Amino acid sequence: MIVNSTPEGSAPRRRSARGEAARERILHAAVEAFAKDGYQGCSLARIASEVGLSQAGLLHHFPTKEDLLAAVLEERDRLDTRRFLADGAEGIEILTALEKLVEYNTYLTGMVQSFTVLAGESTADLHPARDWFQSRYETVRTMIAAELRKGVERGEIHPDTDCTAIAAEIVATIDGLQLQWLLDPKKVDMPTLFRNYTTRLRTAIST
C-alpha cells in the first residue's frame, strides 16, 4: 500500500536548495516525533513547530501524514542499505557486520525507537506501514540467509545449518534486544548481549 509510493527510480528531484533543506529538517523531526509518541500519537502541528513551520507549511512538503510516514520509511531504507552494502561482508562475516550495526544503533536512539514503535504499531491489521514492514522483514531475512548460505558454500559454515531459520532468529534477537534496551538502557547492554549471542552462534554453526 505504502511501499514504493514514491518510486525510487524516478528522476532526481529538482528542488531549490532551501526546499531540500526544509524537507530534510521535517524528515528528521518526524523521526524524532514518531519515536516520542508513535505515528498515531504525534501530531503534524508538533512536528511542524519543531522545525519552525506552521502545520500548513509542513503539508506543503508532505501532502498527508501518511506521505510523511512513507518518506521516513524510505529514508531508513536508504540509510540501512547504504550502510549495509558499504560493509560488504560476505559469508559468516555477516555476523561481524551485524555486531557493528547493533553497536552503531546505540548512537541512533531516535531512529531505533522510532522503528520499534512503528514496527509494533504496524502489526495492527489496517496500519499504513504494515505492508512496508512485512516486505522489509522478508527482504532482510533473505539477505542474511543468502550470506549464510554463501558461508556454507565456502566451507565456513556447517552444511546442515538451516540458514533461513537462523536468519529469522538473528533478526528477532536484534529487535527484541532493541526493545529491552529502549525501555531500560542502563540495565540492558545491547551490543554486549548481541555479541554474546553471535559468539555462541558462530561456534555452533562454524565448521
Partner DNA sequence: GTCTATACTTTGATAGAC
Partner DNA sequence: GTCTATCAAAGTATAGAC
Residues that bind DNA (CB under 7 A): 15-16, 18-19, 22, 42-46, 48, 52-57, 59-61, 63-66
Residue 192 engages a second copy in binding (rule: CB under 8 A): yes
According to CB under 8 A, which one of 55, 172, 206, 207 is a site residue for a second copy?
172
Nearer to DNA, 11 or 85 (CB): 11
Q: Are 194 and 173 in contact (CB under 8 A)?
A: yes
- Residue 128 CA to residue 66 CA, distance in Å, equals 7
Number of residues near a second copy (by CB under 8 A): 52
Q: Which does 98 bind (CB under 5 to 8 A by kind): a second copy, DNA, none?
A: none
Q: What are phi and psi of 74, to 5 degrees?
A: -60, -40
Tell how far CA 15 is from the center of its chain: 27
User: What DSSP string runs through 63-114?
Assistant: SSHHHHHHHHHHHHHHHHHHHHHHH---TTHHHHHHHHHHHHHTT-HHHHHH
The binding site for a second copy (CB under 8 A) comprises 35-38, 40-41, 113, 116-127, 130, 133-134, 137-138, 141, 162, 165-166, 168-169, 171-177, 179-180, 182-184, 187-188, 192-193, 196-197, 200-201, 203-204
